[in-house]
Structure 1
């Protein structure tokens, strides 16, 4: 297989189903899906089972008990279960465009991770999207989105498939090249070299912190936010905690200042 897609989820079957349909539509089928499940109920397990026969490789469902927000912990488990040497990280609320995997494979390069983009949908439009809208790519049409609750804005230009325009926008955008949990790919060996995700971190910048340690390790980043696109479905974030977000910021600040690469509470526990 050319790539392993690691998808995080937690009790969001309605969104995860749309996402998996998006992966059925990919222009390349030589990939593995690993679901990093932070304690969902049997409903998620049953949904995944219903998709098992539809992909070239069996979906790997990595599950842990629900003991609060432990995304870093389940991601580290998923990394070890991934069979490919190249990993694409995304979330169970992000529908991939049909060229999503192809774009990541096209731009992958040793010594780099890829920083992709997303277009965030309002809740009304998120719920409106059905199976056919994903399979025929209606939901990636700017005209369709505007007709179905999305306000016109320059951000919609992310969905333009013109390769020259995308390359130009990747070059001129002022958005930093960061490790984004919804759309980033990298070599597995690079993540293992920094001991994966930091399990001391809760919600809020945990993915960016990985990228910052990769930078400290000498890995660079490429911007593909206008080339590799996914639609972000709207949802609540009841797990957001201001005090924990501030703690995460302190960890990131310390790691940057001290050029930290390896963390103690990651894939391996020191």
Structure 2
């Protein structure tokens, strides 16, 4: 297969189903989906068992027991379980536009990772999106979104930019090309070399820290935030706390200061 799409989830079946339907209608279908499940209850497995016969690509469920927010660990297990040389990362609350996988494969290049972005939707539109809205791509149609109450904004260019205009916006955006967990991709051999995600880190910056170690390895990043599009469904974030942020900030400071490439607690710790 050309790619493995790895997405994290935790007890969010309604959003996860919408995301899987988004991947079911991709213009490029030669990929597998790996669900990195950080301890969901049985409803997630039931959902995947129901959807598996309805989609054409393999749907792999990698699960671990619930031990608090351990996204880094389950993502590492998903990396090990992947069967492709190229890995695309997103989250189970981000619906991909139909050219998402094709775009990541188009821009992939040895010595680089790709940095995409997202368009955050309000809760009312997140809930309103139906299976048909995804299949027929209405949820990416700016006219449909405006009719559902989406405010007008320059950010809407993320949904409307194509071709040279998208390329121009990728080049001039002030946002740095970082590893973003909701929309990033890279070569499996690079991720394995740096020992994957740092499992000492919980919520807050663990994705960026992985990207910083890829930079330390010598990789560069390409900005594709206006080309590889996902819409981010709204949800509560009850796992955020100040102590974790401070701990993660200190780890990132050490990674940058000491040019750390391989995390001491990563893939090989499992």
TM range (shorter): over 0.9
Q: How does 1:88-127 map to 2 (within 5 A)?
A: 88-127=88-127
Q: Is the 8 A contact 2:96 2:229 kept in 1?
A: yes
> Secondary structure of 1:246's match?
helix
Question: Do structure 1's residue 178 and structure 2's residue 178 form an aligned pair?
Answer: yes
CA offset at residue 149 of structure 1?
2.1
Q: 2:17 matched to which residue of 1? A: 17
**What is the aligned length?**
270
State the Cα deviation string for residues 119-173 of structure 1 (Å, max 9, x = none).
0000010000001111111110111111112111000110114211100000111
Q: Is the 8 A contact 1:122 1:149 kept in 2?
A: no
Q: Distance in 2 between matches of 1:165 and 1:58?
A: 34
Q: Distance in 2 between matches of 1:192 and 1:10?
A: 24
Q: 1:264 matched to which residue of 2? A: 264
State the Cα deviation string for residues 57-106 of structure 1 (Å, max 9, x = none).
42110000111000000000000000000000000000000000000000
Q: Distance in 2 between matches of 1:225 and 1:193?
A: 26
> Secondary structure of 2:152's match?
coil
CA offset at residue 185 of structure 1?
0.5
CA offset at residue 55 of structure 1?
3.2
Larger deviation: 53-62 or 19-28?
A: 53-62
Question: Do structure 1's residue 210 and structure 2's residue 210 form an aligned pair?
Answer: yes
Q: 1:162 matched to which residue of 2? A: 162
* Structure 1: gaps (5+ residues): none
Q: 1:193 matched to which residue of 2? A: 193
Larger deviation: 156-165 or 257-266?
A: 156-165
> Secondary structure of 1:169's match?
helix
Q: Distance in 2 between matches of 1:33 and 1:111?
A: 24
Q: Distance in 2 between matches of 1:84 and 1:58?
A: 12
CA offset at residue 225 of structure 1?
0.2
Q: Considering only aligned residues, what root-mean-square deviation do their CA atoms show, in Å?
A: 1.0
* Structure 2: gaps (5+ residues): none
Q: 2:51 matched to which residue of 1? A: 51
> Secondary structure of 1:46's match?
helix
TM-score by length of 1: 0.98
Q: Is the 8 A contact 2:24 2:57 kept in 1?
A: no
> Secondary structure of 1:35's match?
strand
